[in-house]
Amino acid sequence: MTWQFLLDQFAAQFALWWVVWLGILLGIVVGILPGFSPQNTLIMLLPLTLAVPVEQALAFMVALYCANHLAGGVPAILMRIPGSGGAAATTLDGYPMARKGQAQQAIVLSFTASVFGGLITTLATIALLPWLSKLGLYLRSVEMVIIMLFGLTLIAVIAAKDTLKGLISGFFGLLIGVVGTDHVYSEPRATMGFLELYDGVPLVAALIGLFAVSEALVMIEEKMIVEDDARERAMQASWADTIEGLRITVQKWWHIVWTAFIGLFIGIVPGAGASIAAFVAYQQSRMWSKHPELYGTGIPEGVIAPESANNGVTSGTLVPMMALGVPGGSTAAVMMIVLQYHGMVMGPRLFSTNPGLAYGVFVSMAVAYIFMIITILPLARFMARIVLIETKYLVPIILLVTIVAAFSERQYAFDMGLALVFGVIGYIAHKTNYHVTAMLVGVILGPLFEQYLVRALRISEGDLTVLFTSPVGNALWALLVFSLLVPLARSWWQHRASRSSPPQP
Amino acid sequence: MQKESRALGADLVIPALALAFAVYFFFSTADLVWEAKANGVIIGTALVILIAFQVGRVALRIMRGEGGLGLDPIWQPREMAWKRVGLVAITALFIAAMPWLGLTLALWLGMAAQLWIIGVRRKKILFWLPTATAASVYALFIAVLDSGFPHGPVEDLLAPLLAMVSR
């Protein structure tokens, strides 16, 4: 791969600007709608993507995919309704920022973290593709069990304010995540006789219920989303707030870089996705922060970490597809169908037989991110005004449109009813301070954790020591233990320091 | 000074739901092989232990006279309780009626009813907000994405127009 080759690739992708823009606009619209995933949109648009030339189809799909990941953070920040599982962790600090009248800064941070996180990891992927494609081979079920545990420790982090309630929420979510057929014998478990639950609890219905429906039911108590004392500030928001968001982005550039790489590495593993990456990045960001106690109160790092990571995933997911012929996620699988229809054979040979297309995917992604920042940044100011709309108009829209979106994932009316049930549970949890995010962490990661654990145990014929047999796994174990000990050590140290310091007069 | 009495019963609603689900899980998976139920049994057992701690904690606080078994936090503020019940009921009706009325009409009716329940009385808003929302949803989900939402009179009426445009 030469510089000239790369420049030609970039020029070719820039020439498809209109396709990229179309993908970005549609990706943003469906990304803002909770539950409407990129793979659903791409499946519905298959007749279009199969009909146009492969380069255009690819540019459109990649742009839509990246924009979808970016846009999920918008409703998470403005209404505490994540557009996708990958944006669920964004609600933890994004929504408190919006309530404090800093919606515009939060949205700008979300956009810049997403775009720069996505762009950096895409460029890194282009440069390191041969090595990155091998990384997926080292991360097997044993290592994935430990990566899942990283995500699950977020339950303990969320539970910090009321440990018992947080843990009950998390474990309730984990148990809900067990519903469905098991991974070995396909025996249905706790499905209550509903065939619709054989594949497990649909994540979109849980997400919409726990966040959107429950939040709408709570929201009616207030006139607007923004707090009364921050209303004045939100009303006076101007371009200066966009610039303030950009200033914070520059200040926190390193935070964007390292959390984006968490997303990239997790994205490379087939089956892992943006939700895990975002939760792990948030947990790691909090752990390494000098002020972990501020997380959850509305701080920029709490928005940057999950948003940067869930866009870092976008390029990672495509690595195993292009290099090994194994799709890293469901969106990648749909893209693979389109590429195969056009006669492309994925795998190592693609780089020698059609390097233009192989690298073109990632160049197309980089171009999409460049276009995205130009397109979406000016919109932050106008999007932020949603927090000033009276809730009596917002609540019916949120309730019914998100319930409609619950249908779109699997096209079962059952999922809409399930979202409503989760909504009522989420509302009760909300009013009694049981954290719905902890519940969602359990629902998302529970089935994945079980899947990898059972797979590892099947390979080892039930021997639990398999979890400690791989060098990469052992390094991850050490890091996990270290992650858990750091906060404890830090609080002990602070406690000791406060005891030894002389009392204030 | 009299101590404020808290409605601690509300703190037990989620544990009660979780316990009911855990018990159902244990009974419904009792006959399965261990690989199928091991994960759920471990999680469920931990959940039951945590719930026992929470029940103990609430019981202790009630014995200390810090509160009673009321459910006030869930219902309060009282003036909103019926609005909430109304919103949930209309959403359930919307889900039930959608197969007959189609997405667009069901959404229009559901939204108008919810706006009214929530206290909106201006006729223009009661008409135009549901119309704009239903039209946007129709345009995205039916006209552009052609997803599998149920069709009703509005969709049938607009189908020839849509066919003409897509041609």
Q: What are A78-103's pLDDT values in tens digits?
A: 888 888 778 888 998 999 998 888 88
Region of A411 (left: φ > 0; alpha: ψ -120 to 50; beta: rest) is left
DSSP 8-state class, residue A210:
I
Handedness of CA A69, A74, A75, A76 (dihedral sign): positive
Helix axes A103-138, A54-71, angle to 10 degrees: 120
Cα Rg, chain A, nearest whole Å: 22
User: Cα–Cα distance between A227 and A221 in angstroms, integer?
Assistant: 12
Report whether pLDDT(A256) > 70: yes
Chains A & B: contacts with CB separation below 8 Å: 178
**Residue A463 in tokens:** 């021997």
pLDDT band at residue A253 under the 50/70/90 scheme = very high
Q: Concatenate the DSSP letters of all residues of A377-403 into one string.
A: GGGHHHHGGGGGS-HHHHHHHHHHHHH
pLDDT band at residue A117 under the 50/70/90 scheme = very high
Q: Do A44 and B145 touch (CB under 8 A)?
A: yes
Region of A76 (left: φ > 0; alpha: ψ -120 to 50; beta: rest) is alpha
Element (H, E) at A94: helix A91-99
Question: What pLDDT is stored for residue A270 in this prediction?
Answer: 67
Mapping DSSP onto H, E and C, the string for A316-363 reads HHHHHHHHHCCCCCHHHHHHHHHHHHCCCCCCCCHHHHCHHHHHHHHH
**Alpha carbon A279 to its chain's center:** 8
| Overall average pLDDT of the A302-330 stretch | 83
pLDDT band at residue A136 under the 50/70/90 scheme = low
For residue A388, with 0-12 CB atoms within 10 Å meaning exposed, 13-18 middle and 19 or more buried, which class applies? Answer: middle
| Overall average pLDDT of the A461-467 stretch | 82
**Greatest Cα pair distance in chain A:** 79
Report whether pLDDT(A343) > 70: yes
Question: What pLDDT is stored for residue A419 in this prediction?
Answer: 94
| Overall average pLDDT of the A164-176 stretch | 90
Q: Who wins on pLDDT, A68 or B132?
A: B132
CA atoms within 13 A on the CB side of B33: 8
**Greatest Cα pair distance in chain B:** 78
DSSP 8-state class, residue A290:
S
Q: Who wins on pLDDT, B93 or A481?
A: B93
User: Cα–Cα distance between B12 and A433 in angstroms, integer?
Assistant: 11
The residues with which B7 forms a beta bridge, in sequence order, are B68
Q: What are A197-227's pLDDT values in tens digits?
A: 998 998 888 988 998 899 899 988 888 777 7
Q: Which of A169, A178, A401 sits opposite B43 (nearest CB)?
A: A178
The residues with which B67 forms a beta bridge, in sequence order, are B6
The residues with which B68 forms a beta bridge, in sequence order, are B7
Report whether pLDDT(A1) > 80: no
Count CB-CB contacts under 10 A for residue A55. 18
Q: Which of A45, A21, A24 is nearest to B145 (CA)?
A: A45
> Which ipTM was obtained for this model?
0.93
Question: What pLDDT is stored for residue B103 in this prediction?
Answer: 93
User: Cα–Cα distance between A144 and A269 in angstroms, integer?
Assistant: 8
Q: Who wins on pLDDT, A318 or A351?
A: A318
Report whether pLDDT(A505) > 60: no
- Using an 8 Å Cβ cutoff, are A220 and A393 in contact? no
Question: What pLDDT is stored for residue A280 in this prediction?
Answer: 87
pLDDT digit string (tens) for chain B, length 167 residues: 444 567 788 999 999 999 999 999 999 998 888 878 888 898 999 999 999 999 999 999 999 888 888 888 888 888 889 999 999 999 999 999 999 999 999 999 999 999 999 999 999 999 999 999 999 999 888 887 777 889 999 999 988 887 777 66
Q: Do B40 and A175 touch (CB under 8 A)?
A: yes
Q: Concatenate the DSSP letters of all residues of A112-172 into one string.
A: HHHHHHHHHHHHHHHHHHHHHHHHHHH--HHHHHHHHHHHHHHHHHHTTSSHHHHHHHHHH
Cβ-proximal residues to B115 (8 Å cutoff; 6+ apart), any chain: A392, A393, A396, B125, B126, B129, B130
Mean pLDDT of chain A: 84
Cβ-proximal residues to A85 (8 Å cutoff; 6+ apart), any chain: A203, A207, A273, A274, A275, A278, A440, A444
Question: What pLDDT is stored for residue A497 in this prediction?
Answer: 79
Question: What pLDDT is stored for residue B1 in this prediction?
Answer: 42
Q: Which of B14, B44, B114 sits opposite A428 (nearest CB)?
A: B14
**Contacting residues of B for A213, CB less than 8 Å apart:** 91
- Using an 8 Å Cβ cutoff, are B7 and A142 in contact? no
Question: What pLDDT is stored for residue A305 in this prediction?
Answer: 94
Shortest Cα–Cα distance, B145 to chain A (Å) = 6
Question: What pLDDT is stored for residue A350 in this prediction?
Answer: 75
| Chain B interface disruption, residue of A33, A391, A394, A404, most B CBs within 10 A | A404
Closest residue in chain B to residue A449, using alpha carbons only? B39
**Residue A165 in tokens:** 């309630």
| Overall average pLDDT of the A459-485 stretch | 84
B131-139 long-range Cβ contacts below 8 angstroms, 24+ apart: B133/A397, B133/A400, B133/A401, B133/B107, B133/B108, B134/B104, B134/B105, B134/B107, B134/B108, B135/B104, B137/A401, B137/A404, B137/B103, B137/B104, B137/B107, B138/B103, B138/B104
Question: What pLDDT is stored for residue A502 in this prediction?
Answer: 61
Chain B segment 53-72 residues within 8 A of A by beta carbon are 53-54, 57
Q: Do A396 and B44 touch (CB under 8 A)?
A: no
Closest residue in chain A to residue B71, using alpha carbons only? A432
Backbone angles phi, psi at B114, to 5 degrees: -65, -40
Chain A segment 371-430 residues within 8 A of B by beta carbon are 392-393, 395-397, 399-401, 403-404, 407-408, 411, 413, 416-417, 420, 423-425, 427-429
Letter for the amino acid at A78? Answer: L
Q: Who wins on pLDDT, A309 or A237?
A: A309
With a pLDDT cut of 90, the percent of chain A lying above it is 23
What is the CA angle A452-A188-B147, rounded to 5?
85
**Residue B99 in tokens:** 């197969």
Report whether pLDDT(A486) > 80: no
Chain B segment 102-131 residues within 8 A of A by beta carbon are 103, 107, 110-111, 114-115, 118-120, 125, 129
